[in-house]
Amino acid sequence: MQIKQRQSNALTLLAASAVILVPLSGHAVEFTISGQVNRLLMAVDNGDVDGIVHADNSVSGTRWRIKGQGDLDNGMTAGMYFENQLQSNPSSKVTAGDLDTDGDGGDVGDGDHFSVRQANVWIKGNFGKVTIGQGDGAANGSAETDRSGTDVVQYSGSPGDLLGSMDYGTSGDDVGDVRSNFDGLGRNDNIRYDGGNGAFTFSGSLGNGDKLELAVKYKAEDLEVKAAYWDKADSGGDVTGNAISASWGGKTGINLTGAFSGDDSAGDPENIYLKLGFKTGDGSAYAVDYSETTDLGAGDANSISVAWVKNVMKGVQVYASYRIESLDNVPGADDITAFIGGARVKF
């Protein structure tokens, strides 16, 4: 009953916002177009087959976006955000069947994938910001705070993004079956509010199926912390979850990152993430991380990886990584090893 009242209030707010937005038609609206291409090569061995594949890096896939905004007469700003992801052979979709046993694979892929990431309108003023449409739920990113500089290829959700469809040997279980960083409810159709002042901000969103997400964020010069709670409600059997992540970066270049998250679905699965990194003055970043997901699917799974990222020039990064994915106490579950190299170019 309380959630339905929230929906009613949200619709009232939307109607009021629509009235406020009317004067915008007489003002200039500025639009920007931007995006990125992010491609990689992976040499993968899952203990049964091995090969090399060309793929789009699903950690931060190839995409383009349009943003627009304009000032209102009453001191507020309104705008829109549309973003479309266009991936050819996403790394998260590469399977063991895409690897040839002679190690020369890569001729088989998962095809083209197109998806709408963002399609929303917003209004903001001294009251905060209200957004409605397809976009990030308030809890999205709560398990992913990361100041290491290596997050283009290494962060709390990278096991699934890079190798999500890859089987552990002949076990029949893939990485996506047993790994998750439990990062809220992702992007969905919702109405969202963001507010706060200075270092502290807070967010709340209500999506289709009565999905509820709440989050708080603290951001300072050398430290960032995010925490969130969510309830899938009618859209997911009333499963609730929470996450907290933090990342600290010192002036010496050393940085530390950690996250803990989980939900109350069957088995009460949880995920822990730890990272130690170092940034140099020439635009390079180095890091080693460890993560473990327990009680999700067939068994407990963990990974360790090392990564290097180089900012070649503004908007251009090259990167390399080596990772080992392991699944414990499951017959036939050999380790998955992967050498990864790629580049991201923003425009």
Report the pLDDT value the prediction gives residue 12, as an integer from 0 to 100: 39
pLDDT band at 26 (very low <50, low <70, confident <90, very high): low
Q: Give 302's Cβ-side CA count (13 Å radius).
A: 12
**In the chain, helix, strand, coil percent, each to 5?**
15, 55, 35
Does residue 110 carry a pLDDT above 90?
no
Given this model, what pLDDT does residue 116 score?
95
Q: What is the pLDDT of residues 135-156, one digit of tens each?
A: 999 999 999 999 999 999 999 9
> What is the rounded CA–CA span in Å between residue 216 and residue 193?
12
Question: Between these two residues, 101 and 150, which has the higher pLDDT value?
Answer: 150
Give the CA dihedral 40, 83, 152, 174, nearest 10 degrees.
-70
C-beta pairs of 316-323 under 8 Å, 24+ apart in sequence:
316/343, 316/344, 316/345, 316/346, 317/152, 317/343, 317/344, 317/345, 318/342, 318/343, 319/150, 319/152, 319/153, 319/343, 319/344, 320/153, 321/150, 321/153, 321/154, 323/154, 323/158, 323/159, 323/162, 323/163
Q: What is the mean pLDDT of the chain?
A: 90
Q: Using CA atoms, how far apart are residues 61 and 49, in angstroms rounded to an integer?
A: 26
How high is the pLDDT of residue 107? 55
Banded model confidence at residue 102, pLDDT cuts 50, 70, 90: low
Distances (CA, A) of 313 to 72, 245, 281: 37, 29, 13
Considering only residues 101 and 240, tell me which one the structure prediction assigns the higher pLDDT.
240
Instruction: Determine the pLDDT at residue 197.
Output: 85
Does residue 1 surpass a pLDDT of 50? no
**pLDDT value at position 95?**
93
Look at residue 133 and tell me whether its pLDDT is greater than 70.
yes
Q: What is the pLDDT of residue 36?
A: 98
Q: What is the DSSP string of 271-288?
A: EEEEEEEEE-TTSEEEEE
Q: Where are the alpha helices (DSSP H) in 105-190?
A: 158-163, 175-178
What is the pLDDT confidence band of residue 98, given thresholds at 50, 70 and 90?
confident
Mean pLDDT of 178-205: 96
pLDDT given at position 219? 96
Tens-place pLDDT, residues 35-78: 999 999 999 999 999 999 999 999 999 999 999 999 998 889 99
For residue 112, the model assigns a pLDDT of: 85
Q: Which amino acid is at 272?
A: I
Query: What gap in Å lies between CA 156 and CA 148, rounded to an integer?
Result: 12
Specify the pLDDT at position 303. 98
- Say how far apart CA 11 and CA 282 lie, in whole Å: 51
Neighbouring residues of 332: CB distance < 8 A, sequence distance ≥ 6: 168, 169, 170, 171, 172
The yes-or-no verdict on residue 241 having pLDDT over 50 is yes
Q: What is the mean pLDDT of residues 110-127?
A: 92
The reported pLDDT for the residue numbered 294 is 97
pLDDT in tens, 10-20: 443 444 444 34
- Report the alpha-carbon distance of residue 136 to residue 188 in Å, rounded: 6
In the structure, what pLDDT confidence band is assigned to residue 200 with cuts at 50, 70 and 90? very high
Catalogue all structural domains in the chain, each as residue range(s) with its CATH number: 2-346 (2.40.160.10)
Q: Hey, which residues does 152 pair with through a beta bridge? A: none
Q: What is the pLDDT of residues 268-301, one digit of tens each?
A: 999 999 999 999 989 999 999 999 999 999 989 9
